[in-house]
Structure 1
Amino acid sequence: MSDCGCDKARAELEEYLRNEICTTDAKDIRDHLATCEGCQSELHIGVVLTQTVQRACKETAPEELRDQLLARLREVQTY
């Protein structure tokens, strides 16, 4: 991704955050981020969003709610 600018860095940001990008492209993005405050802000938003989603995926519903939901689903399936 030589000559990495904002458009290219932002287009590849999600893959960069998940380490799903080749080493050369990752270096280009890192180099760009080192000097671009706008893209640094985008990166920060991406990091916070990713961490929030990861935490939410680890949470479990209370057992009472789970039981109520399953009971309601069974009701709906019988119609």
Structure 2
Amino acid sequence: MTDCGCEKAKAELEEFLHRELSEQDLVDIQEHLDGCEDCSGEHLVGLTLTQKVQRACQEKAPEELRASILASLDS
């Protein structure tokens, strides 16, 4: 196990959440999160926000509103 430390874990948390790191960096940060209460708390906050934003982006405006906006763009 290679503990990457809090500084690296926190600096790369966003990339970790989106799986945008090398496999080794993902493993190192996950191992750190498993043993660090402070960083795992920040990870939970980031994960919760990411999931809420993803769900919100899947919602669609009511059809009447969409039609009205599209009509106003054509004007």
What range is the shorter-chain TM-score in?
Answer: 0.7 to 0.9
TM score, norm. by length of structure 2? 0.84
1:72 Cα offset (Å): 3.0
Question: Helix, strand or coil: the match of 1:21?
Answer: coil
Query: In structure 2, what residue type is equivalent to 1:27?
Result: V
CA distance in 2, matches of 1:67, 1:42: 41
Query: In structure 2, what residue type is equivalent to 1:72?
Result: S
Question: For the pair shown, which has the larger CA radius of gyration, 1 or 2?
Answer: 1
Task: Say whether 1:54 aligns with 2:54.
Answer: yes
> 1:1-34 deviations in whole A, cap 9, x for unaligned?
x651111101111111111111111111111111
> 1:38-77 deviations in whole A, cap 9, x for unaligned?
11111111111111111111111001111222233334xx
Q: Which runs of 5+ in 1 are unaligned?
A: none
**What does 1:1-79 align with in structure 2 at a 5 Å threshold?**
3-75=3-75
1:36 Cα offset (Å): 0.9
Q: Which runs of 5+ in 2 are unaligned?
A: none
Query: In structure 1, what residue type is equivalent to 2:70?
Result: L
CA RMSD of aligned residues (A): 1.5
Count of residue pairs the alignment pairs up:
74
Percent identity reads 55
TM score, norm. by length of structure 1? 0.80
